[in-house]
Amino acid sequence: MSVPDVPPPSYDEVVSSFNTKVGPNASPTELLAAASSLSEAEKSVLIDAAKNPATLTDEEKKKFAVGAAMSFSQPETVAALQESAALATQAVRAIDDMFVSLTQELTTLDQKYTSPVDGPFAPRLTVFATKYRETVRKSREVAVEIAVHAESFDKVLKQVVQSPNVTLDQKIGYTDGYIQQAEEIKGKSEAMEKGFHDLKDGFAVFTGSFQNWAADKKAQDEERLKNVMNEINRLNDKIRDITISLYTFGAIAAFSLPVTGVIAAMSGPAAPFVILGGCIVAGISVAIVVGLAAGLTAAKNEKGDREKEAANLRKDIEMIASTQANLKTLAENDLKIFSDNISVLVKTWTHCTADAVEVRKLLVDAKQTGLPLNLKTSLVWEIHTTSAVNVYNGMAKYLRAYAQDVISVNDIV
């Protein structure tokens, strides 16, 4: 008897059930923990609903922005930012370790193979590793400067702008100074960002050239391995034929012997010695046996050499493939993670500055019109002046954690 299909729950049913579980005042941590209890069917319903999200009203958008901004002051968000900073510095170390291991691999390949027109790979990779470490050093320094700049937004600029004891001219003057400081950071930040993008672009070209070179070398080694394996098969046939000849010769001579163990020994490694011993005592010519024994030894030695050659070729092919994969991972994954961290640095000072420029406009407008300063005419500043909103102070903690951890990495690399 077949089991009837159970229809999936509706969106409203899933939402109602989830809200009942978490209650009205759940924190983000509690909500995420509760999300793990959702069934696969419930998750599918919510994922499908997200493809066509409901349109928010202006008031809902404002409340969302305020809530998101307030979260930066919550312990769980601070902890998440600290964890993110730790992951960023782990990426810094992982990339450096990858440069070290790749340099060793490329040095080995440079010694084994003819270098391309552009020269050996290992010294060229070292240039990229040096540029990367310089970018890490600069990112640490810029992170500290941006952290100070971000903290002063929440701790000083906001207080100055809102203070009734500071004149409009003084507020404009302080805001101008804040923006000017951002311009100085901008120069360092953009230089760091450009240096990193140049590094990524150059490394992509380097990786591409290695992949092309490696593909050719790997194909050559695979063809050589194929030929060596054919040679090993030929030698196996030769060894078998010589062994059969030795056994046949000895068995015929010893056929009438009552000692069957002698005949058995003639098929093993001791065959030449047993047969020669019999020939010498019997006064039979040893020339044939000596020739067969010499041929057998030579064939076995040659087979051993070819097997070593095959093993080395396999090792070389594996090393080329491993280096190809590691370079691809470094170019497409690891450097991307570090790029995301560079992006956080740049975006933090950019948004700080943009918000300062916006409040300066409000200050200048108030001075020119003679009307009282009203920060709530700007959604950005309405959010910033909401109690418990300290977005940039939260980001500063992330930047300081990153800079502090990167110091220990730079001491080693």
List strand residue ranges (DSSP E) for 258-346, in order: none
Residue with the bigger pLDDT between 274 and 190: it is 190
Compare 46 and 322 and report the one with higher pLDDT.
322
pLDDT higher than threshold 60 for residue 152? yes
Tens digit of pLDDT for each residue in 80-115? Answer: 767 777 777 888 888 899 999 999 999 999 999 988
Which has the higher per-residue pLDDT, 11 or 321? 321
What are the tokens at 40? 């696969």
pLDDT at 244 over 80: no
Query: Tokens 């903290």 sit at which residue?
Result: 151
How far is Cα 198 from Cα 278, in angstroms, rounded to an integer? 79
Mean pLDDT (whole number) for 17-44: 68
More confident residue, 52 or 147: 147
Residue 254's pLDDT band, with cuts at 50, 70 and 90, is: very low
Residue ranges per domain, the chain? 11-54, 66-207+327-412, 229-313
At residue 230, the pLDDT reads 95
Return mean pLDDT, the chain. Answer: 78
- Rounded alpha-carbon distances, angstroms, from residue 269 to 272, 308, 374: 8, 21, 101
User: Which long-range CB contacts under 8 A does 309-312 form with residues at least 24 apart?
Assistant: 309/228, 310/225, 310/228, 310/229, 310/232
292, 245 contact by CB (below 8 A): yes
Rounded mean pLDDT, 129-150: 88
Region 65-75: mean pLDDT is 60
pTM: 0.69
Comparing 312 with 64, the larger pLDDT belongs to: 312
Q: Quick one: average pLDDT of 38-51?
A: 68
Residue 102 and residue 125 in contact, taking contact as beta carbons nearer than 8 Å: yes
